[in-house]
Structure 1
Amino acid sequence: MSDDKVCSHHKNKRRKLLRRCCAGFLILAFLVLLAVLIIWAILQPKEPRFLLQDATVFNLNVSAPNVISTTIQLTISSRNPNSRIGIYYERLRVYANYNNQQITTPTGIPPVYQGHKDVNIWSPFIFGANVPVAPYNGLLLGQDKSNGGVNFKFKIDGRVKWKVGAFVSGRYHLHVTCPAFVPIGNSKNTGIVVGNAIKYQISRSCSVDV
């Protein structure tokens, strides 16, 4: 047998072996993916549930038609409704919106793992010092305070990962919106005086998008 035939024979063997390895890898990857999808379908992961419990207002001042200063402490609870799936929270940021305009800088919440059926409670401060806004928003906020209440949207943006046994999923974006009517200046709901601030009970469910 000539050297050319021997080389050609070895090349064909290597190609067949490479094809078998690739086919085996693809089959294994497919089976793993299929198993994960079946487990995922059986477990049926549910989104975490968020509740805005209260808002403590230290400062909400309109110093000019287009300048707002805000200091508010929120109490927010998060519950994992899943009995077999844990949740990792990462890069959570909380801020306040008024009339579709952000009026505070984002405040971070430390990363945390939430076990099955567990509840976490956070009490972040959110601040906005002399934040420029659209002039009509400054005027509208002043009017709302005079009328006895302000509609806010407190938002949480971040990422979550799901944990099933030893398996941890990739990151998913988390968007939470907590609409809240805070009865500032309402003589029928004066809230609870806490030092130089007033705490208002909200108890409002938030919408969650993952």
Structure 2
Amino acid sequence: MTDLIALPPGRVTLSDRRSQRVWTVDLQPYLLARAPVTQREYAEVTGERPSAAAGENRPVESVSWWDAVRFCNARSEQDDLEPTYRLAGDTIEWNPAAAGYRLPTEAEWEYACRAGTSGPRYGPLDEIAWYRANAGEHLHDVAGKQPNAWGLHDMLGNVWDWCWDLYDPEVYGTYRSLRGGGWFDEHWSCRASVRRRSHPSLTLDDVGFRLARTITGW
């Protein structure tokens, strides 16, 4: 099942191209999955295979933000961990004290993607990512490209990752943030700082997710 990597504390500066907003976030240590959730992992927990492009070791895609959140809770229960999310209809609360699986925040995602680098990417794009120029217009197995310095694969390319955060609630309401670029994106979308948004109930064939966990008692 999921291989989680412990990431060190640190600080990351995020930006939004549309609004020209820049903000800095301090982060405590946390755990992040080495690669996106695969179709095999998703089926083992949920019994479902929603992906448009089948492949046991390919990232699960065609899953909504709500699907990802429910998977986090189901996987937590399977591993005897306290679920992170409390769900009641269309409302959700995040229990920060819970040790269960969850989605990374945008700040956690970008910090992890950069892995101590400051440029747009953590390596030459063809070596680290599946994107429009080299993917052959299809999804690929996870961890097929070089990882970043912290051992994380597919932070750029293959599938976009759902993040916990609302994208811009004043303008886009409940839309949630996506990060990383996907197999059909041009090179300019596969950068550490690029933000994308989607409605939490929408499913897309280039959107998946990876797991995070809080290190409790810090």
With normalisation by structure 1, the TM-score equals 0.23
Question: Which structure has the larger Rg over C-alpha atoms?
Answer: 1
Q: Which has the higher helix share?
A: 1
Larger RCO: 1 or 2 (CA < 8 Å, sep 6+): 2
Q: Which has the higher strand share?
A: 1
With normalisation by structure 2, the TM-score equals 0.23
